[in-house]
Amino acid sequence: MYHKVAATLNWCLPECDPEGPTSLPGRHIWDGLRTCADAGSKAAPLLSDPSWWEAALHGPVLKIQRALGREVRWQARQEWLARATFKQKARLHMHGGWGSGAALARCPTEVALRLPDEAVRVALCERLGIALCRPGRCGLRFLRSGRQCREHRRCGDHVHCCKGTAGARTRFRHNPLAEEFGRILSSAGRFVELELRDPTMGPHARLDIVEFASAVGGPAAYDVSVVTALRKDRRFVEHCARAPGYASRNRHDHKLSTQYANRLPGARLFPLVVEVGGRWHSSVPPLLRQLAREHVRHAFHPSEASGLGPVGLVVSRWMARLSAALIRGNAAVHRRAGYTPPGPMTADPSPGDPLAHLVPEGDSAYELLVS
């Protein structure tokens, strides 16, 4: 099909042999066209129409542009994953998924979404695999024992699992996320309190958010956790590389089966687990959608809340606020760790062709991301 059209137009993709293009962009386009045709897409007949190809030479064309672009991106992602290391795959999955980096792509129309330059720089460096500190050992002291940590910094990834940053992680990252979830529950009409003991979860259980019985729901308990996929344990990193969201699922199951295993029968526990990059556990999106529907019913007239539009807007706003709290918390943890800043920034080596990683400095960094 492709060669027939190419012969008609006297035009072909670069470096094309009888089996198809050999260059990377050409191969992606070739695979995308073949997939569209094999899937029986409505736009598949257009691929054998020379006039369609003539229009494609001069700019985007209708009906197939979006499907073709999606397929080309998917092919490029699969080829990258085939060459990437376990650490690079785990980093990609940790910074992907529902709600990851939502604050970076949303216009900061409220104070909670305005991120300082340092927070944006740290978020970009962590996503691109750029070292945030010089090589060496940690050197931080543990809060309780006073011992000094001698683990390697691992380009800054160690701060998210070091005992020396436990206090900073709780104060600057965990607590703001719990407070934000408390506001979300309150806006949905739930009666909640932060940091209370809940006898239904265990004799000495202290939960981040406790919901009391009301006409809307409850009683229930919510526990917030932030985990990282880039631990020192190589086997754990390999599991996270093979299964996206493995770190959050592992912590979610641990809370239900081990940490709060002695909770009373019928007691409702909702672990709110998020990975450092912003990937939330699969149980969080349905919970937020349910709370958004309750919020819409309380805030709007029933005739205005019949559609899904208001619910989607509320979920999008909540998702961005949670993402902003997490990004600010990650930056605060790095700041409190006090690692020696690196020299000229170098990106994590790409498994394929080198990529130009640009990390703008100053106020322009955030403006470029939301424009």
In this structure, of 136-145, 160-169, 311-320, 358-367, the range with the lowest mean pLDDT score is: 358-367
Tens-place pLDDT, residues 290-332: 999 999 887 765 555 444 468 888 999 999 999 999 999 999 9
What does pTM read for this prediction?
Answer: 0.78
Query: Buried (b) or exposed (e) across 270-303, using 16+ Cβ within 10 A?
Result: bbbbbbbbbbbbeebeebbbebbbbbbbeeeeee
* 365 contacts 121 by C-beta, under 8 angstroms: yes
Tens-place pLDDT, residues 318-327: 999 999 999 9
pLDDT for 19 equals 54
Query: Buried (b) or exposed (e) across 336-371, using 16+ Cβ within 10 A?
Result: bbebeebeeeebbeeeeeeeebeeeeeeebbeebee
With a cut of 50, say whether residue 361 has pLDDT above it.
Answer: no
Domain boundaries, the chain: 2-83, 102-370
With a cut of 80, say whether residue 55 has pLDDT above it.
Answer: no
CA distance linking residue 148 with residue 140, whole number of Å: 6
In this structure, of 33-42, 68-77, 262-271, the range with the lowest mean pLDDT score is: 33-42
